[in-house]
Chains A and B, each alone.
Chain A
């Protein structure tokens, strides 16, 4: 990793924060200053907004957890088994709640869970001190967290927004490539890129929460971000439906001249380099509009399959152009919030947006946390192990802190390695260096090299987890206290207990939470299919919220399939883009049919039912394509073909053609109907 200015700023800020936290804790006679020390490492993050939000949630979680311990200890201290059970259940409950939500605020629940364990298990032998211990933990953690937040916001902060806008720009550039590729009919499916775009859209949701905790100069612009998120989620399905319609059109016969003109105009527009403020050149955009209008006018009266396809292409491309230029303008508004020169697109009223957590997986993780902590407690109580409390604490920490990561057992094993690596360093300090020093200044001086090293590791992407774990185990091993009390036996004992606790956590989560990524991908897809079916059955659903959730799912599925190197599974069954297309078409159909005459609206109902049935069948293991959805769609198209071409009729036809492309075998022809005249 290069030593950039940003890294240097982070490393300096973090080291300063640790020393500041230690100084304040020593100066105010706190019981265990090392708690403040490692809290700094826990909240540390190169992005200031993330540090500050984590600080707030950490404080909230710690206070809650300590309060819970305070509530549980007095009545249950004489019944160790009951106490362990109560604490473990509390841990499981908090972890389950925190895993329901992927936003940063869920961190508070994780903290509440293991703080209760830490406070409660450390005072069982001296229950009278529960209040003092709880207060001491809260004080130490507050000192550490606040020092981290202040240092990271004062010493050359980096804001979250810069990273976000950079990624948005990259995603928009990639979208243009996709458009040109789709129009050139190259059959490339950039699964990696799709997964990255999906991750970006979900991350906008997750990261933007940090922005409200940023330093004050970072503008808060949530409506713009949400609007941008909606546009970005629509781009890929839109591109892929144009691609599908084009493929069907070239299979149906020769492509007309006006269609070719539209393709030419749009790909030129997509290739055009954006000018100042990211605005697209307006000349090419008006050219695109002209070509689209000509194509629409030409194909408006035709009811045969190829003109239906042309109408669909014209409508979809028109929407794609609008959405992409909106997205570009919104991204620009996000970067230059004070520039008022370009009128942005109209912002919709906010809709509900939550990324679904996985209930089943959350339950598994909660169960693993309960089981792991209980196991450590059992060893502690049954084995009369004096340091068992430490093992139970670390089992709780290990099971909860890493539950959000992809592979908790692996991180836990890395953690054990981290403790083992940090141990000799801590021992060197404890038994060779500390006896020779006196006072805070020399302590700071001898600690600084190690702190710099750990902070530098945390700043690097590859070493971040290792650096974090090393720092924590170093701080824990050192156990800096007010006066120097070297005790080799207790040093070894408590460190062994730490390793034992982490090992229990690792083994339990290896057994309980490890699941096959392919199986999980299939599970997530199935949940998505049920949602498509539900969308068809329930009118007026919130399509934006639905699209975001489905797009998030698409990314999760692709991520798992790519990790398992099973790209081949994306096909007739698992295809997130198809599900998105179908859903968007269903919503368009429902919305536009409200403006149609009652008789025509009636003929749309069989289509909705057929799609719902097809998707329920897919979730039950049947094939999606085929069945009687084709007949219902054809009848719907025939009914619409008899109507005058108004806006709702056009939209409904586009939606039906889109559904037909996805739900019937490729190349099946729509039978031409006799014209009603």
Chain B
């Protein structure tokens, strides 16, 4: 785990917050790529998007690591 975030007494795993953030980023990125007709060149868009999401989530976890000193990183 990468620690927890506290909102009004409720503990929320930081990973959940990161996952939601990563999804928002993915959402925006997909809209841009679609506008550029990028997906014409992708063989399997479902797989591509899933992989892209994992990459974004990993990057997000990496970037947020310094803020969770208590956590042990991946």
Contact = CB atoms under 8 A, between A and B. Distances in A.
B72 interface: no
B33 A153 contact: no
A217 B42 CA distance: 8
B37 A216 contact: no
A217 B46 CA distance: 8
A150 B45 contact: no
A216 B41 CA distance: 11
Given A150-B50, A153-B50, A154-B50, A216 B45 contact: yes
A48 interface: yes
Given A216-B39, A217-B39, A338-B40, A48 B34 contact: no
A153 B40 contact: no
Contacts of B50: 150, 153-154
A636 B42 CA distance: 61
Interface in A210-248: 215-220
B39 to A, nearest CB: 4
A338 B50 CA distance: 24
B21 interface: no
B7 interface: no
Interface string B19-57: 000000000001001100101101011111110000000
A157 interface: yes
B37 A48 contact: no
Interface string A147-191: 000100110010000000000000000000000000000000000
A215 B47 CA distance: 9
Nearest to B45: A217
B49 A215 contact: yes
Query: B interface, by DSSP: helix, strand, loop or mixed?
Result: helix
A220 B33 CA distance: 13
B55 to A, nearest CB: 15
A120 B50 CA distance: 35
A491 to B, nearest CB: 34
A338 B37 contact: yes
A238 B34 CA distance: 38
Contacts, number: 30
Nearest to A52: B46
A442 to B, nearest CB: 28
Contact of A220 (B34, B46, B49): B34
B47 to A, nearest CB: 5
Interface residues of A, number: 12
> Which one of A153, A157, A216 has the greatest number of beta carbons of chain B within 10 Å?
A216
Contacts of A150: 50
A150 B49 CA distance: 10
B40 A216 contact: no
Nearest to B49: A216
Contacts of A153: 46, 49-50
Nearest to B39: A217
Nearest to A218: B45
Contacts of A215: 45-46, 49
A532 to B, nearest CB: 42
Contacts of A218: 45
B18 to A, nearest CB: 15
A216 B30 contact: yes
B34 A216 contact: yes
B32 to A, nearest CB: 11
Contacts of A338: 37, 40
A215 B43 CA distance: 12
A399 to B, nearest CB: 33
Nearest to B33: A216
B70 to A, nearest CB: 20
A502 B47 CA distance: 39
Q: Which of A153, A154, A215, A338 has the most CB of B within 10 A?
A: A215
Nearest to A152: B46
A528 to B, nearest CB: 40
B23 to A, nearest CB: 10
A131 to B, nearest CB: 9
B56 to A, nearest CB: 14
A153 B46 CA distance: 5
Contacts of B42: 216-217
Contact of A48 (B40, B46, B48): B46
B37 A157 contact: no
B46 A157 contact: yes
A215 B37 CA distance: 13
Contacts of A157: 46
Contact of A154 (B34, B37, B46): B46
B44 to A, nearest CB: 8
A215 B49 CA distance: 8
A218 B30 CA distance: 12
B11 to A, nearest CB: 11
B3 to A, nearest CB: 16
Nearest to B38: A216
A34 B67 CA distance: 36
Contacts of A219: 34
B20 to A, nearest CB: 11
Contacts of A220: 34
Most chain A CB within a 10 A radius of its CB, from B30, B40, B44: B44
A654 to B, nearest CB: 43
17 contacts: A48-B46, A153-B49, A154-B44, A154-B47, A154-B50, A215-B46, A215-B49, A216-B30, A216-B33, A216-B34, A216-B39, A216-B42, A216-B49, A217-B39, A219-B34, A220-B34, A338-B37
Given A215-B45, A216-B34, A216-B45, 4 more contacts: A154-B44, A154-B46, A216-B30, A217-B45
Interface of B: 30, 33-34, 37, 39-40, 42, 44-50
The 9 closest A-B pairs by CB, nearest first: A217-B45, A153-B46, A217-B39, A215-B45, A215-B46, A216-B45, A157-B46, A216-B39, A154-B46
